[in-house]
Chain A
Amino acid sequence: MTQPWQIRDLTFNSRLIIGTGKYPSHQVLREVIEASGVELVTVAVRRVDLDFPEENILNYIPTGCRLLPNTSGARTAEEAVRIARLARASGCGDLIKLEVVNDNKYLLPDNMETLRATEILVKEGFTVLPYVSPDLAIARRLAEAGAAAIMPLGAPIGSNRGLKTKELIRILIDEIPLPIIVDAGIGRPSEAAEAIELGVTAVMLNTAIATAGDPVKMALAFRHAVQAGHLAYLAGLGPVQETAAASSPLTGFLQ
């Protein structure tokens, strides 16, 4: 009933993408992935703790769920490129969620460094999904540089504050001929549904599920919310009116 979507030659049925951080255990993560029905999950690249190596998180990500490595921790384009190359060396493919952040308080992306990294990574054959502040000019430049999608933030990472940038995201949907994936800020299933109703291609979130009272139940809630939002988008929302428009006949009872 819902339509699949694509990033280049990759096809996805779920319009939900989730992050794998902050879960109480790897086992909960596995249950969350299964409940959410996602086909794409983000992971980060970090140094191994050689004294206390922890269990490999990949053992808890079901086969059939594709990895989307991020460049978190990068403060410059060069650092992001370095992380992307390492991620690709793991053999998980060319997808990279590009994030360049050098603001510690709000974790807002550095759009200019992100553009510079996109230009380098596209030339190296990566499929680049840049995380950016929702700005039309930068989105156009990223599209020209060969980005495969645009990932505008709804609110600061991990804030659960919702779709605060809605009007700017609406403009990106209208103007940019690439998948628009809201990344960061969404805290409630209703906000995920709202974003998809608006016409974004997919939503990406982590904290909203990982910090919920029951992460597995919340994953299921987001799964249904995203499906509902997409059905509403396909159906076309009814017109908004200033005054009442009766749903029952306006004639009096028994007339």
Chain B
Amino acid sequence: MEVLINGQPTAVAPGTKLLHFITAKGLEPKAIVVEYNGAVLAPEAFGATTFQPGDRIEILRFVGGG
């Protein structure tokens, strides 16, 4: 199935959890913020969130800026 992650159509296995996706990418859950289908998602919810077809996920972090 396919979800949209950071604007990119991304194939994921059915049943994939957000937390697994994040850690598989080498990201620390504490170091990122996630917007899930347009709403901010608390880090505590990462483990309980299972990708559904067509979900829109933005994975963001702080970067250098003025």
A residues near B, CB below 8 A? 19-23, 29, 42-48, 50, 53-54, 56-58, 67, 69-70, 72, 82, 85-87, 89-90, 157-158, 184, 204-207
- Do residues B63 and A57 form an inter-chain contact, with CB atoms below 8 A? yes
A-B contact pairs, 20 of them (CB 8 A): A19-B65, A19-B66, A20-B64, A21-B64, A22-B66, A43-B63, A45-B60, A46-B63, A48-B6, A48-B32, A48-B59, A50-B25, A50-B59, A54-B63, A56-B28, A56-B31, A70-B66, A86-B58, A89-B42, A90-B62
- From A21, which residue of chain B is reached at the shortest CB distance? B64
Shortest Cβ distance from residue A108 to the other chain B in the assembled complex, whole angstroms: 15
User: Could you tell me the distance between the alpha carbons of A56 and B27 in the complex, rounded to whole angstroms?
Assistant: 9
- From A73, which residue of chain B is reached at the shortest CB distance? B65
Known: A20-B66, A21-B64, A53-B25. 6 other contacts (CB 8 A): A22-B64, A45-B63, A47-B6, A57-B63, A70-B65, A89-B33
Does more than half of chain A's interface fall in helix, strand or loop, or is it mixed? mixed
Query: What class of interface size applies to chain B in its complex with A?
Result: 20 to 34
Task: Collect the chain A residues with CB atoms within 8 Å of residue B65's CB.
Answer: 19-21, 42-44, 70, 72, 206
Given contacts A48-B32, A86-B40, contact A29 B64 (CB under 8 A): yes
- Do residues A44 and B63 form an inter-chain contact, with CB atoms below 8 A? yes
Is B15 located at the chain interface by the 8 A CB criterion? no
Given contacts A42-B66, A45-B63, A56-B28, contact A87 B33 (CB under 8 A): yes
User: Could you tell me the distance between the alpha carbons of A56 and B64 in the complex, rounded to whole angstroms?
Assistant: 10
User: Could you tell me the distance between the alpha carbons of A90 and B61 in the complex, rounded to whole angstroms?
Assistant: 8
Task: Collect the chain B residues with CB atoms within 8 Å of residue A158's CB.
Answer: 66
- From A29, which residue of chain B is reached at the shortest CB distance? B64
- From A205, which residue of chain B is reached at the shortest CB distance? B66
Is B4 located at the chain interface by the 8 A CB criterion? no
**Residue of B8, B25, B26, B66 with highest tally of chain A CB at under 10 A:** B66
Task: Collect the chain B residues with CB atoms within 8 Å of residue A21's CB.
Answer: 63-66
User: Could you tell me the distance between the alpha carbons of A13 and B7 in the complex, rounded to whole angstroms?
Assistant: 42
Contact partner of A46 (CB less than 8 A), chosen from B5, B26, B31, B61, is B61
User: Could you tell me the distance between the alpha carbons of A82 and B65 in the complex, rounded to whole angstroms?
Assistant: 17
Contact partner of B64 (CB less than 8 A), chosen from A43, A47, A184, is A43
